[in-house]
């Protein structure tokens, strides 16, 4: 079997967007699948992680992406960074707000759509010169799915989508509602993509249920146990509480500041690889003082070590209607790290159910902070979780994937 994966993000791009398929691809190759990856080069990446390795045996095709960040900086000012992973309310300058409005209402489905012409040309050339059993497009950015839809229409190749996040219900469209016309265009494209594909892999049941009717298969993220073999937990004088990764619009950091005076441990709060706006940074410093440890973006393996070397891991869910199905890559890495997880947000969502089912921690709503503090205070240093997490071993996800794809012997 030979597949072509089309993904805007791939190493040297770093961050959560690349981890899903970096874990899937070696497992596919191990099972005899030939994998080619078409990705962007020279694009706007929120992070660059040069420590990430391209899996051996992968054929890599790169298509040049325009640097939209250069235009953004020229218009909005050098201090305003191109939004990624969502549209941040922290962009307060008038030029930035105008650009955000234009981005939400005129550039549909997302800013990466300007990569599509070069990516389609490269993909068409590739599948015209070599036999492929199928094409998989992964999003966000959901504009990538438009490449797959055009390839299927022009060549008839089997095409599958991979939805790592919602489309119309994605958090930044909930928090910054577009015009009704723009919303209808999003809805039309979403439905057309789903109905045109030969199959759609969706990260959670809740996200799948909110999408239009189509052939869907649930394909959660997973963890690779091999990444943790050499990682050891160490005991430190202080109780180590850690949040690893990014904060996007809709995640309420004030929940942490409210908990600051409730924890009884002699603790240290680490924010690892987290980009914080000036307001949030000031709030954290005021609440935690010398207990606050700020760690810049670090290589992925180092981030996993930070997770293992913790006494409590924090998961803050987006606070908006429709977030029930959100399942971040971080959750599954947290599970494998075996440190207890404190989840703050929707206690009825997919993430909460996984944490409960695996006995990996506890979930509390924003109105249950005193109960959350009591639970944390009951934990001991170096306490490890021991629940069954085998369902989320990446090998299980590959079983699901291969059952759907054509060409499997």
Is it the case that residue 349 has pLDDT exceeding 70?
yes
- Residue 340 falls inside a structural domain: yes
- Residue 91 falls inside a structural domain: no
Percent of the chain at pLDDT above 70? 92
Q: In terms of domains, do 293 and 200 share one? A: no
Confidence band for 318, pLDDT divided at 50, 70 and 90: confident
Average pLDDT over residues 367-386: 95
What is the number of domains present in the chain? 2
**Entry field: residues in the chain:** 409
Q: What is the pLDDT of residues 146-169, one digit of tens each?
A: 999 999 999 999 999 999 999 988
* CATH number of the domain enclosing 172: 3.40.50.2000
Q: In terms of domains, do 301 and 160 share one? A: no
Average pLDDT over residues 344-359: 90
Q: In terms of domains, do 311 and 375 share one? A: yes
Q: In terms of domains, do 267 and 172 share one? A: no
Q: In terms of domains, do 216 and 235 share one? A: no
Is it the case that residue 74 has pLDDT exceeding 70?
no
Q: How far apart are CA 245 and CA 330, in angstroms?
A: 8
Q: How far apart are CA 318 and CA 326, in angstroms?
A: 8
- Residue 88 falls inside a structural domain: no
- Residue 85 falls inside a structural domain: no
Average pLDDT over residues 363-383: 94
Q: What are the structure tokens assigned to 393, written together?
A: 């071993």
Q: In terms of domains, do 196 and 244 share one? A: no
pTM to 2 decimal places: 0.90
Is it the case that residue 141 has pLDDT exceeding 80?
yes
pLDDT of residue 331: 95
Confidence band for 92, pLDDT divided at 50, 70 and 90: low
Confidence band for 408, pLDDT divided at 50, 70 and 90: low
Q: How far apart are CA 278 and CA 260, in angstroms?
A: 19
Is it the case that residue 403 has pLDDT exceeding 50?
yes
Q: How far apart are CA 140 and CA 147, in angstroms?
A: 13
Confidence band for 248, pLDDT divided at 50, 70 and 90: confident
Average pLDDT along the chain: 90
Q: In terms of domains, do 188 and 177 share one? A: yes
Average pLDDT over residues 44-63: 91
Is it the case that residue 314 has pLDDT exceeding 90?
yes
Q: In terms of domains, do 261 and 118 share one? A: no
Residue range of the domain that includes 359: 225-391
- Residue 55 falls inside a structural domain: yes
Confidence band for 322, pLDDT divided at 50, 70 and 90: low
Q: In terms of domains, do 237 and 349 share one? A: yes
Q: In terms of domains, do 39 and 150 share one? A: yes
Average pLDDT over residues 372-384: 95
- Residue 266 falls inside a structural domain: yes
Q: How far apart are CA 290 and CA 300, in angstroms?
A: 26
Higher pLDDT, 98 or 356: 356
Q: In terms of domains, do 365 and 272 share one? A: yes
Average pLDDT over residues 361-375: 95
- Residue 24 falls inside a structural domain: yes
Residue with tokens 């891991």: 313
Is it the case that residue 97 has pLDDT exceeding 90?
no
Is it the case that residue 78 has pLDDT exceeding 50?
no
Q: In terms of domains, do 214 and 243 share one? A: no
Higher pLDDT, 319 or 139: 139
**Count of other CB atoms within 10 angstroms of residue 74:** 10
pLDDT of residue 406: 83
Residue with tokens 């050499």: 230
- Residue 377 falls inside a structural domain: yes
Angle (CA) 399-405-406 rounded to 5° is: 135
Beta strands in 234-311 (DSSP E): 239-244, 267-272, 292-295
């Amino acid at each position: 079997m030979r597949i072509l994966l089309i993904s805007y993000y791939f190493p040297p791009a770093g961050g959560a967007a690349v981890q899903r398929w970096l874990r899937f691809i070696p497992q596919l190759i191990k099972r005899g699948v030939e994998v080619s990856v078409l990705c962007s080069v020279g694009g706007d990446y929120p992070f660059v992680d040069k420590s990430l390795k391209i899996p051996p045996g992968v054929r890599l095709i790169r298509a040049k992406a325009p640097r939209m960040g250069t235009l953004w900086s020229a218009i909005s000012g050098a201090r305003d960074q191109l939004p990624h992973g969502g549209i941040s309310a922290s962009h307060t300058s008038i030029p930035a707000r105008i650009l955000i409005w234009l981005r939400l209402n005129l550039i549909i489905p997302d800013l990466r759509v300007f990569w599509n012409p070069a990516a389609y040309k490269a993909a068409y050339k590739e599948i015209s010169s070599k036999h492929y059993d199928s094409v998989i497009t992964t999003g966000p950015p959901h504009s990538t799915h438009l490449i797959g839809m055009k390839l299927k229409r022009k060549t008839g190749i089997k095409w599958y989508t991979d939805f790592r996040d919602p489309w119309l219900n994605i958090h930044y469209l909930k928090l910054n509602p577009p015009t009704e016309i723009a919303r209808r265009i999003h809805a039309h494209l979403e439905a057309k993509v789903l109905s045109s594909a030969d199959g759609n892999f969706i990260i959670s049941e809740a996200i799948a249920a909110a999408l239009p009717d189509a052939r869907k298969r649930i394909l959660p993220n997973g963890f690779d146990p091999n990444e943790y073999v050499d990682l050891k937990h160490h005991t430190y004088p202080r109780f180590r509480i850690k949040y690893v990764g990014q904060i996007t619009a809709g995640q309420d950091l004030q929940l942490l500041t409210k908990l600051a005076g409730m924890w009884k441990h002699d603790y240290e709060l680490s924010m690892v690889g987290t980009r914080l706006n000036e307001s949030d940074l000031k709030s954290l410093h005021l609440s935690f003082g010398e207990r606050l440890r700020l760690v810049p973006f670090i290589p992925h393996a180092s981030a996993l070590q930070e997770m293992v070397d913790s006494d409590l891991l924090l998961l803050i869910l987006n606070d908006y209607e429709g977030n029930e199905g959100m399942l971040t890559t971080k959750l599954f890495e947290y599970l494998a790290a075996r440190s207890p997880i404190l989840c703050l947000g929707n206690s009825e969502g997919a993430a909460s159910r996984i944490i409960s089912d695996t006995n990996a921690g506890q979930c509390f709503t924003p109105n249950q902070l005193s109960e959350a503090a009591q639970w944390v205070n009951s934990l001991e240093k170096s306490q490890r979780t021991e629940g069954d997490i085998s369902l989320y071993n990446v090998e299980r996800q590959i079983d699901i994937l291969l059952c759907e794809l054509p060409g499997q012997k």
